[in-house]
Structure formats: structure tokens, C-alpha cells
A and B are shown apart, each in its own frame.
Chain A
Amino acid sequence: MASLGEIAPVPAPVARRWRLPALGDTLLALPLTLFFLAWFLAPFILLVVISLFDTAEFQALGLIQYAKFFADGYSLDVLWDTLELGFLVTALCLPLAYALGLVYVAGGPHRRTLILFLIMLPMLTSAVVRTFAWIVILGREGIINNTMLALGLWGAPVPLLYTWGGLVVALAQIQLPLMALPVINSLLKLDRNIVDAAEALGASRFHRLWTVIVPLSLPGALAGALLVFAASTTAFITQTLVGGGRIVLMPLNIYQQAVGVQDWPFAAALSVVFTVSILAISFLLNAAAQRRMRGVDAA
């Protein structure tokens, strides 16, 4: 009888007032929705409200903080530099991710496992650890300087740490997995027949890559680009440690205003402008990619 005991008895339909929601019942998302309303949406609304106070003593309401932001050239420059950093890192990640993806898709199971492992390795080791590694690589006595000096290519150590270029390369490495995974996925879903058709019609391999493979895998590249852009603009640790004190970007700026100067309304205004900029760029990228993809469909 033990085996029969495994099967639950037929539930009595009458006595039951409340039933557990079934799979696919949106009600299951209610707890998380409430949690997000309280601790995710409400904070952002409060952030906007606080940014509308005129002084750090919370007396009068107004748009003074935003006027301050756009009037002093410094904050605007910082925002601009931050967005530029995001673009450069994303631009550097794209070809690397595509090359990895093409080699992955063309390979057998062993090569695929190896590449996936290489991609996940940095993803799963802490960002502080990866940043620290870049300090060792780029430092005055670091790997690059020592190698170049030993080879006699450089006469003296070249400053790499605390430079814009060093920061872009380090961030690209740190964020590359975010780009590589969606790109690989897109390439896997690609219909081989279309590529073969292009080949049969005489398109060279570079031509096929540019006119067939890249446009058709654009959704993956876009998803990756959005993640890399968002992650690299907000990567506080890497920005401050590899960039050094002289490169001030939005996250450090917000942190200094909020914790150092204790000017919450201005820090809030900076955060709002930063968030809106990121959202606007995501939206524009999305719209541009949608148009490009429609063009591919129509063709």
C-alpha cells in the first residue's frame, strides 16, 4: 500500500475556499511586485522628489539643482565623459564578442565547452578581483611595462594605470561576458540556409559576415550592448581604481556629493539625470536596431 500512498487523494471541491494559484497565474508574481513597488519604484520616486528641493536643508521646492547641473560645465563634462566611456567599452566589446561567437558556433562540443568556461570564468569571479588583476597588469612594474622594457621596445615605463585607455580596456575585459553570451545565442539561432544561400550567390566570407550574419544577429548584439553600456557606466570600483583620482565619472561624482558633501538634493538630481540619460540611450539604441531589423525583413 506504500506505493498507493504516493498518490494524493482527490481533493474535495466544496470545502476549498482559497486555492494555490496555478502555473502561469499572474497572481504568483504579486509578492515580488509588492516588494519591487516598495523597494525599487518608491525609492526612485523619492529620488526625484528629493532632487526638487532647492537646498540641502530641504526648505523650498524648485528646479535649482537641475539648473545648477546644466549651468556649471563640470557636471555636464563628467556626464559626457561617462557616456563616452560606455560607448567606447561597448564598441571594443562588439568585435571581440563576435569573433568569440563565430569560433564558438563553428566548433564542436569540446571547443564550445572551453569557450563557455572562459566566458563564465571572469563572470563568476568578483569584479574587485578582476579590477585588481588589471592593476597588476597595467601598473608601473606591471606585466605590460615589464615585458616592453625587457623586449627593449620601450625605454622607460609608460603610464598605463590611471589613464583613459587603460580604463577602457580593463572595463571591456570585465564586461565582455555580458556581450559574448547574447551574441553567441543569436548566432546559434541564425538560419544556416541563409548564410549558405549568400555563399552560393558568390558573396565572400567578409561580405557574408557584414551583410548577412551581423544584421541577423543584431538582437543579441543589442541586448549585449545595453548590458555592457549600463554596467560600464556604473562600474564604480573599476572606474575609481583603474581610472584613478583624476578621472571623475558620474558614479564617483554622485558618491562625493551624497556622502562627502552631504548635498542630497544635488546628488539626487545627478542620479536622476544619469538614470534618464542611460534610459534615453537604451531607448534610442533599441529604436535604431528595430529599424535596421525591419529593413532586413523587408529586403
Chain B
Amino acid sequence: MRLKAGDIAYEGAVWAVAGFAMLLLLAPTVVVLITSFTGEQTLKFPPPTWSVRWYMELMHSGELINAAWTSLKLATFATLACGVLGTAAALGIARSRTAAARLLDSLFMSPMVLPAMAFGLALLMVFSVLSVRLSLWTLVIGHAVICTPFVIRMVSATVQQLNPALEDSSFSLGASRWYTLRRITLPLIGRGVFAGCFVAFLASFDNVPVSLFLSDARTEVLPIKLWQILEASLDVRVAAVSGVIVVVTLIGMLLTERLFGLAANVQESR
């Protein structure tokens, strides 16, 4: 096979753009990690001196620890809610071709395309009309809605690959529906459920537009706290918090990858 000039130009162009894209994907995470070990008060890059002082500082930042704790609780409850409801719904509609099932699927996916700011404001109005006081639970409701699409997508992807014959044989061997669900269906789609919940958890932990309207002084969440700190001054503590988040997420990602093949699930669900 002889190489033509056009082929070389093509390869070069594709690789140049792809290389730039890969650099773009990787750089911010690396930059944050490096910056978090600066010994200075500023975000100068590369840091002139090195230290772990900003990580030490975190341990004395009560308001940041409180906010992180609230965010963790919130993400846990929201993931539980949308994990259970979403998995049931995906089991119900993923393999159905009926118009009702398609309509429900679009409904459950729509929080991903509608402006989340508008939804946050709308939900605040609902609670205000119902005279419900804002609390962790009102936040959980909002986050559960926003995170549902991730669970629906990933669970649907595994349900669609499920061989219906396995369940039919379970029924024909006399197993009850509950028993079949517990022993056959759930173990088979477990990967998808876990991957969906993992991404839903991160989406909740990261959510700003909904929390912006639904969190108050008692339920301050981490991303909003960080945003306020950054709006006021470019505080280096944010770099340390970011470092912690990046490392914890990476560990979670590698564990999930090991146990459940997260990458494969994300890929399948698109």
C-alpha cells in the first residue's frame, strides 16, 4: 500500500485535533492537583514553593467540612431515591415499544435537556406555595429528579441486553416473581444499577442550579460554598478541596471499574 500525500495530511490533521482534545481533557485535573500543593497565597502556576499547608488548613475549616458533610448526605439520599424509583421504571419501560413507554422514557430523560435553573426556581415556588420549609429533604427531592436520567439510561442499557429466556425459565421452574426479581433479574442488571447510581451520586454532589434555590444557611452544600469562596476571593483552599475531590473520585472510579466495568456501562448507555 502506498501512502498518498492526502492520507498523510488526513492522519496528521485528525491526530493533531485529537491530541489537542486529549490535552484539553487531562490538563485541568492535573493543573488543579499541582496548584493544590502551592506554598503561596496566590494561584501562580507553576507554584514557586511547595507545601501541604492548604490541606492542613482544610481540617480547620469548619464551614467547608459541614458543607461537604451536607453534600454527602444529600447525594446519598438522592441516589437512593432515584436508584430505587429509576431502576423499577427502567425495568418497566426499557424493553417496551409501546407509545406510553416511549413517552415515559422521554419524560424521565428530560431533566437532562431542560434548563436546570428553571427547574430549581420552579421547585422553590412549589415548596413556597405549599408552605413547606426548606430542608435537606426538599433538596433530596430536587436532586432525585435531576439525577434520574443517569439511572434510567444505564439501567435501560443493561435491561435491553438481558435475555428474557432466563426469566421465563425461572418462572417455568416455579419461582415467584419476587424471587425471580431478587435472584435472577437484579443480579443480572446489577452492573448497570451500580454504574447508574455512581454517576447519579456524582451528579448530585456536583449539582449547583437546583441547590442554588433550595439550600439555605442550614443546608449549605459544598459546590455552592466553593462558588461563594471563589466569588469573594481566589482562595487557595479551593484547590485543596478540589484535590481531595479528584483523588476520592478517582479511587471511586477505579473501584467501580474493577468491580462493575463502569466504562463499558457508560459506553453502552449512550
Measured CB to CB, the residues of A under 8 A from B are 7-11, 19-33, 35-36, 39-44, 46-47, 50, 95-100, 102-103, 113, 115-122, 124-130, 132-137, 139, 141-143, 146, 172-173, 176-177, 180-182, 184-185, 204-206, 209, 220, 223, 226-227, 230, 233-234, 236-237, 240-241, 250-251, 254-255, 258-259, 264, 267-268, 271-272, 274-275, 278-279, 282
30 A-B pairs with CB atoms under 8 Å apart are: A20-B181, A23-B167, A23-B185, A24-B95, A26-B98, A28-B89, A32-B108, A46-B125, A96-B21, A97-B21, A99-B16, A99-B17, A99-B20, A120-B262, A121-B26, A124-B199, A126-B202, A132-B230, A132-B238, A135-B234, A173-B28, A226-B113, A230-B112, A240-B227, A241-B231, A250-B117, A258-B121, A264-B125, A271-B117, A275-B115
- B121-A26 in contact (CB<8A): no
Cβ–Cβ < 8 Å partners of B185 in chain A = 23
- A241-B223 in contact (CB<8A): no
Q: How large is the interface on B (under 10, 10 to 19, 20 to 34, 35 or more residues)?
A: 35 or more
Cβ–Cβ < 8 Å partners of A29 in chain B = 88-89, 92-93, 101, 104
Cβ–Cβ < 8 Å partners of A116 in chain B = 263, 266-267
- A133-B31 in contact (CB<8A): yes
The 4 closest A-B pairs by CB, nearest first: A28-B92, A133-B28, A43-B122, A99-B17
The docked-state distance in angstroms from the alpha carbon of A288 to that of B159 is 31
The docked-state distance in angstroms from the alpha carbon of A8 to that of B141 is 38
Query: Chain A: which residue is nearest B16 at the CB level?
Result: A99
B209 within 8 A of partner (CB): yes
Tell me the chain B residues, 219-270 only, with Cβ under 8 Å from chain A: 223, 226-227, 230-231, 234, 238-239, 242, 245-246, 249-250, 252-253, 262-263, 266-267, 270
Given A46-B125, A124-B249, A129-B246, check contact A136 B145 (CB 8 Å).
no
Measured CB to CB, the residues of B under 8 A from A are 4, 6-7, 9-11, 14-18, 20-22, 24-29, 31-32, 35, 42-45, 85-86, 88-89, 91-93, 95-96, 98, 100-101, 104, 107-108, 110-119, 121-126, 129, 141-142, 144-145, 148, 159, 162, 164, 167, 173-179, 181, 185, 199, 202, 205-206, 208-209, 212-213, 223, 226-227, 230-231, 234, 238-239, 242, 245-246, 249-250, 252-253, 262-263, 266-267, 270
Query: Chain B: which residue is nearest A50 at the CB level?
Result: B125
- Partner of A100 from B18, B91, B126, B253 at Cβ < 8 Å: B18
Query: Could you tell me the distance in whole angstroms from the C-beta of A235 to the nearest C-beta in chain B?
Result: 9
Cβ–Cβ < 8 Å partners of A130 in chain B = 28-29
Query: Chain B: which residue is nearest A116 at the CB level?
Result: B263
- B117-A254 in contact (CB<8A): yes
The docked-state distance in angstroms from the alpha carbon of A15 to that of B178 is 16
- B115-A255 in contact (CB<8A): no
Cβ–Cβ < 8 Å partners of B45 in chain A = 136-137, 141-143, 146
Cβ–Cβ < 8 Å partners of A282 in chain B = 113
Cβ–Cβ < 8 Å partners of A264 in chain B = 125
Cβ–Cβ < 8 Å partners of B223 in chain A = 126-128, 237
- A173-B24 in contact (CB<8A): yes
Cβ–Cβ < 8 Å partners of B262 in chain A = 120
Given A28-B89, A43-B122, A126-B223, check contact A240 B231 (CB 8 Å).
yes
Query: Could you tell me the distance in whole angstroms from the C-beta of A171 to the nearest C-beta in chain B?
Result: 12
Cβ–Cβ < 8 Å partners of B141 in chain A = 39
Query: Chain B: which residue is nearest A24 at the CB level?
Result: B95
The docked-state distance in angstroms from the alpha carbon of A184 to that of B206 is 25
Cβ–Cβ < 8 Å partners of B227 in chain A = 128, 237, 240-241
Cβ–Cβ < 8 Å partners of A7 in chain B = 173-175
Cβ–Cβ < 8 Å partners of A139 in chain B = 43, 234
